[in-house]
Structure 1
Amino acid sequence: MTHHDSSDRQGFATRAIHAGQEPDPRTGAVNVPIYATSTFAQDGVGGLREGFEYARTGNPTRAALETALAALEGGAHGRAFSSGMAATDAALRAMLRPGDHLVIPNDAYGGTFRLIDKVLVHWGIDYSVAPVGDTEAIAAAIRPETKLVWIESPTNPLLNVADIAAVATATHAAGARLVVDNTFATPFYQRPLALGADVVLHSTTKYLGGHSDVIGGALVTDDAELDAAFGFLQNGAGGVPGPFDVFLTLRGLKTLAVRMERHTANARAVVELLRGHPGVSEVLYPGYAGMVSIRLAGGREAALDLCKKLEIFTLAESLGGVESLVELPAAMTHASTAGSLLEVPDDLVRLSVGIEDVEDLLGDLTRALG
């Protein structure tokens, strides 16, 4: 869906609430209606109203979300998918062909790694890994057949940060394209397209939806040809979100700015507490948003113990919701990396710091750490 409106000149929170979400012209409804329909009546053969014919191909509720996502990332085109992995799959298949090579972070999200390592390699795709914070290492990993550099910044779960502009320069100098997974930073803190990225990816399940009640993904780009390729796969492979999921994601976007401010304030307080705690050997935090990873001085047993003893922090996978979550990546979200170049330390605990009262979160951690 191509994004055309005047919202580019507006502030972030204004765009999050209004881009693609104007009151319904027919009824005046201030929220975008949930168009729960699989098909659309045509005025004569091929006479489409507003361009909609079949809901896998396009749906007005989804179109509103795609406009909003593009506006927040400062991009021309947005596409919504049924999950972050569906968006990842579409991007990889649109941009790679058998014989191509890509570079990924040496601490990439386990699901991204699994899709590349267990599926795409069987279709003739090769990959190399490099530390996301080392632009020279990324450039050195690029080969003549490299078509794609894929980074997360910050990474999941080690929270390493890339110099996106420098990586974009190195990638483009080699004739490749750059995809940035912006799930952890969100467009509130970072706009990869403005830094030179070709494509931005989101698991909208996380901060953009923000309430742990919906699964979704997105791709945003300024490249019309790439957007058409994403749209072809969106329709042709069918990994599209339903209108109810899209409605929940749109509702989440409206409070993204205030939520990110609170996530960050709470996370900074958590980091301050943990950096001074003898039971914690290392605190990993990029300085913004709500993701904090820690390594426990007592190793894996201490990490397991912390996960068990926390009460307000719920032991669960995923992140970016209003409630605080804790997980052990090596045994949970990143189990697929075991024994690989991307293996996660077994004493690492990942915290998704929510927007509860910060004193309660600090008390929960203090008590659980002992």
Structure 2
Amino acid sequence: MHIQTAAVQTLRDHQHGAVVPPLHLASTFELDPATADGPFAYQRGSNPTRAELEQVLAVLDGAEHGFAFASGMAATAAAFSILETGDEVILSASVYGGTYRLVDKYFEARGLRARFVEDLGTLTEADVTERTRIVFVETPANPTLRITDLRRIVDLAHRGGALVVVDNTFMSGVLQRPLALGADVVVQSATKFLSGHSDILAGTITTNDADLAERFALAQKALGGVLPPFDSYRLIQTIKTLPLRLERQQANAIAIREHLGAHPAIGTVFFPGSHSEEEARIHASQASGPGAVLAFELAPEVDRVAFLRALRYPAYAVSLGGVESLICHPATMTHEAMTPEAQAEAGISPELLRLSVGIEDVADLVEDLDQALAAGLAAS
């Protein structure tokens, strides 16, 4: 079954014949008085609507198990909940600012260690020690779009006894399936492409490991950061258009990056594979497209604030993956939790802008970018 078919057809209400599954809002469920058993008991532990969403999430990622959380960071925190005192996590220096904040503010007090690596492509077998429990990967990385060879990382980590957790938010299961490449766990901020409309806060975990699945189910029940039924219901519906939305967004992003790459007011344009031919080869081998996020630096003579204020269509806001285009300044927005030194190590310059491309007509977006660049030049 192709992914567009899976997105639409995974769930059918065969009991009632409804083409849309029902929404179950109940927080508690009747149990058998003799055994206190039942398929559902209390919403935090499980709920029929959330369970149906989790079935869809698993199918999209080619996974046996799926879990829905109240946010992307709740999902990442649940993935890290398997860590024990003394464990180490290896991460790329270029990692989502929220993940950096979680690691920076909470690991040390809990006896955990984080090791940030400028380029995971340089990781060797010696780097994965007996303390290393997780290698955490974003590919493409946020916001630099650097690429990591997932097959190589999986091989290194597994030989050292570590797990590989991949944040696949930028690609989703439509463009990249890390579990099929050997990764142990996939996390996503479902707020982004899975939702696609900038109106749902959600996170996901998928895995093929039954033991890890039990740990994540426990994290849902014990930590409580679960996705409510109504948001689960709405996410089921928005996922149905995910492949179509992403197809249009990706096509727009490719056209825009090519236009900006030839524009005299633009310094450097970053996209998956732009760093080197090797990264381009790796990305092509593990993903089916570049996605819909790019980043760029303005030429020195362009006034950044004037450029951003002049934009009519991309909103100056955090987040990404929505049907509307969004632009942000990572150094002061998505990655503000990082020190200037950490930002420099991650390749996040003060002039870097990240653009999430929507489904608008690409000609309108290009025209808007051009007039805003002209305004930025005029103001400098």
TM-score, length of structure 2 as denominator length: 0.90
Deviation for aligned residue 1:367: 0.6
Alignment partner, residue 157 of structure 2: 171
- Provide closer, same or farther for how the CA distance between residues 330 and 100 of structure 1 changes in structure 2, counting only shifts above 3 A: same
2:330: which partner in 1? 329
Alpha-carbon shift at residue 340 of structure 1 (Å): 4.2
Q: How many Å apart are 1:338 and its aligned residue?
A: 2.4
CA contact (8 A) 2:331 2:343 kept: no
- Quote how far apart the aligned CAs of 1:32 are: 1.8
2:41 partner SS? coil
Write the mapping of 1:194-343 to structure 2, written as runs, cut at 5 A. Answer: 194-286=180-272, 288-298=290-300, 302-343=303-344
Query: 2:283 is matched with which residue?
Result: none
Distance of 2:176 and 2:357 partners within structure 1: 19
Distance in 2 between residues matched to 1:73 and 1:59, nearest whole Å? 21
Shift of 1:18: 1.8
Q: Distance in 2 between matches of 1:305 and 1:121?
A: 41
User: What displacement does 1:260 show?
Assistant: 1.0
Match runs of 1:13-162 below 5 Å:
13-19=4-10, 21-25=11-15, 27-49=16-38, 51-94=39-82, 96-132=83-119, 134=121, 136-137=122-123, 139-162=125-148
Q: Distance in 2 between matches of 1:289 and 1:111?
A: 21
Alignment partners' CA distance in 1, 2:369 and 2:65: 42
Cα distance in 1 for partners of 2:125, 2:111 equals: 22
Contact 1:147–1:175 under 8 Å retained in 2? yes
Moved over 4 A (4+): none
1:366 counterpart = 2:354: no
Shift of 1:161: 1.1
Q: Which structure 2 residue ranges, 5 or more long, are not aligned?
A: 273-288, 375-380
Unmatched tracts of structure 1, length 5 or more:
1-9
Is the 1:129–1:141 Cα contact (8 Å) retained in structure 2? no
Contact kept in structure 2, 1:22 and 1:30, CA below 8 Å? yes
Q: Is the 8 A contact 2:145 2:270 kept in 1?
A: yes
Shift of 1:121: 1.7
Percent of residue pairs bearing the same amino acid type = 42
Aligned residues: 355
> Does the 8 A contact of 1:132 with 1:138 survive in 2?
no
Contact 1:283 1:294 in 2 (8 A): yes
Q: What TM-score comes out, normalization by structure 1 length?
A: 0.93
Inter-partner Cα distance in structure 1 for 2:74 and 2:197: 20
- Tell me the alpha carbon deviations over residues 79-135 of structure 1, each in whole angstroms, 9 at most, x when there is no partner: 1100000000011012x111111100110000001001111221011111124551x
Partners of 1:254 and 1:39 in 2: how far apart?
Answer: 28
Q: Distance in 2 between matches of 1:170 and 1:120?
A: 24
Could you list the per-position Cα deviations for residues 197-242 of structure 1 after superposition, in whole angstroms to 9, with x for gaps in the alignment?
0000010000011111100001100000000000001011100011
Counterpart of 1:98 in structure 2: which amino acid?
T
For residues 142 and 180 of structure 2, the distance between their equivalents in structure 1, rounded to whole angstroms, comes to: 22
2-structure distance, mates of 1:268, 1:231: 39
Q: Which has the higher contact order (CA 8 A, sep 6+)?
A: 2
Residue aligned with 2:63, SS: coil
